[in-house]
Structure 1
Amino acid sequence: MTRDSPGWYDRPHILKEQTKNIVDESTVRRDVQDLLNSASPLKANFVVIAGQDIGRKYAIQKSELSIGRDDSCDIVINDDDVSRNHAQITVQPAAIVIEDLGSTNGTLVNGVRVSKHILNDGDRVQIGNLTVFKFNFFNQLEESYSEQLYTAANKDFLTGLYNKKYFKDRLKMEMSHTKRHGNPLSLIIFDLDHFKQLNDKYGHVAGDDVLKELALQISKMKRQEDLFARYGGEEFVLLLRDTPKETAIQIAEKIRSKVSELKLTFDEEEIQVTVSIGLATFRGNNHKNEETFVRTADQQLYRAKKAGRNRLEVEN
């Protein structure tokens, strides 16, 4: 099966056992050398085409980039099939080379397991059993197009936050991180109280304005490492890595207080909004999977609604 065979990257469990070591300066393809030395604004990139975070682009801007499961890597893949330090990309004077670092599940280029390989435009690089990158040289137009595709797939159009799909992908990764390192992962789910009545009274334009302002204000409050996403409708999620329940409670209460103090106006009329919040914390073994973790936080949100709204309820 070759790199041009349809679907080869959809069958990552099939590995070719032969290992190739084909790094030889004399065999560098002319088109790659021309691209590297060209004065045109072409940039080398790795784009995820299979696995988690599809469409994400990693620019190859340093002389060396590390790939692996460890948080210190330049390209972090939170997948148990990926070794902590799995592979390395090296930019040489006339080539860009990928080298496997003795990983358990191997590095494949166009379906063939390799130890070292000179990358050519269009090569497909499989890291472990699930993640596949495509190596490309992009000009400015192509780079912009790639970024737009990624944004369309992973961002919410109205608020600019990450969407539910992206959140679910990241949640799986973060729960794997917690299982490996033992640090708690907290999940806050909140939504606007009486949002339907707000839409009925002021109209959907006002409702959209409220959602955008809420997203903006909470984005200013969150930490850089936190994931803030629109889960759907008037519901939002905040994923807090390495955050125990006690700290997450403080963050959730700050959100609740901040929203209740917002001064929103529409057609010169003030709009008062509040949120109800549910909180759950994953400690590595207290939730079976992502679905049960989210369900637990959502149940706390439901309890907050039933208890009168504008309040926080926390998993025991």
Structure 2
Amino acid sequence: MTSAPHQSHLLIIEDDKGRCEYTLDQPIYSIGRDPRCDIRLVSQFVSRRHATLIQQPNEDGSYSYRIVDGDLKGQVSANGLLINGRKLQAHNLQHEDRVIFGPRVQAIYHLLQRDAITTVPPDEYDITLISPNMAGDPEDSAG
């Protein structure tokens, strides 16, 4: 039996409130100053609806995230997005991408992956039982 590769998507936000980690698993996240945003940014320098994360399926059955400036209605943020030092409207996130929303407000994206795990049914194991008296006392053999 083989299970599919396991991946975890993590977004670490640093803003005026400090540092907060978000595990991403939903299809869409709104990011911004508005208290109704899924991921709230605490700073006067970011827009109410600064960006949107959109989950995208990959060919291997896994998924990735795309960050888009503004909301899904096409309204862009005032400051835009600076991703890895480049001003971009949208970007497919890669491991350790740095997104700057404004002064002292940033996010770092992490894609954590584990390879597929091969499991063997229990009846295929070679099990040897050892009784406690077989182990012996280590001081007895020290001589």
Task: Answer whether TM exceeds 0.5 for this pair.
Answer: yes
Q: Which residue of structure 1 lines up, in the alignment, with residue 89 of structure 2? A: 115
Q: Which residue of structure 1 lines up, in the alignment, with residue 77 of structure 2? A: 103
CA distance in 2, matches of 1:70, 1:111: 25
User: What are the superposed Cα offsets for residues 194-249 of structure 1, whole Å, 9 maximum, x if unpaired?
Assistant: xxxxxxxxxxxxxxxxxxxxxxxxxxxxxxxxxxxxxxxxxxxxxxxxxxxxxxxx
CA distance in 2, matches of 1:110, 1:104: 19
Q: Which residue of structure 2 lines up, in the alignment, with residue 41 of structure 1? A: 6
Residue 67 in 1 paired to residue 31 in 2? yes
Amino acid at match of 1:111: G
After the TM superposition, which of the residue ranges 44-53 and 116-125 deviates more from structure 2? 44-53
Amino acid at match of 1:44: H
- Contact 1:105-1:129 at 8 Å conserved across structures: no
- Contact 1:51-1:132 at 8 Å conserved across structures: no
**What TM-score comes out, normalization by structure 2 length?**
0.65
Q: Which residue of structure 2 lines up, in the alignment, with residue 226 of structure 1? A: none
The structure-2 alpha-carbon separation of the partners of 1:106 and 1:57, relative to structure 1 and needing over 3 Å to count, comes to same
CA distance in 1, matches of 2:97, 2:16: 16
- Contact 1:100-1:106 at 8 Å conserved across structures: yes
Q: CA RMSD in A?
A: 2.0
Q: Percent identity?
A: 31
Q: Which has the higher contact order (CA 8 A, sep 6+)?
A: 2
Amino acid at match of 2:69: D
1:60, distance to aligned residue in structure 2 (A): 1.0
Pick the structure with more helix per residue: 1
User: What are the superposed Cα offsets for residues 17-56 of structure 1, whole Å, 9 maximum, x if unpaired?
Assistant: xxxxxxxxxxxxxxxxxxxxx92332101012565322x2
- Contact 2:16-2:43 at 8 Å conserved across structures: no
Q: Which residue of structure 1 lines up, in the alignment, with residue 117 of structure 2? A: none
Gaps of 5+ in 2: 59-63, 71-75, 115-143
Q: Which residue of structure 1 lines up, in the alignment, with residue 112 of structure 2? A: 138
Gaps of 5+ in 1: 1-37, 141-316
Paired residue total: 102
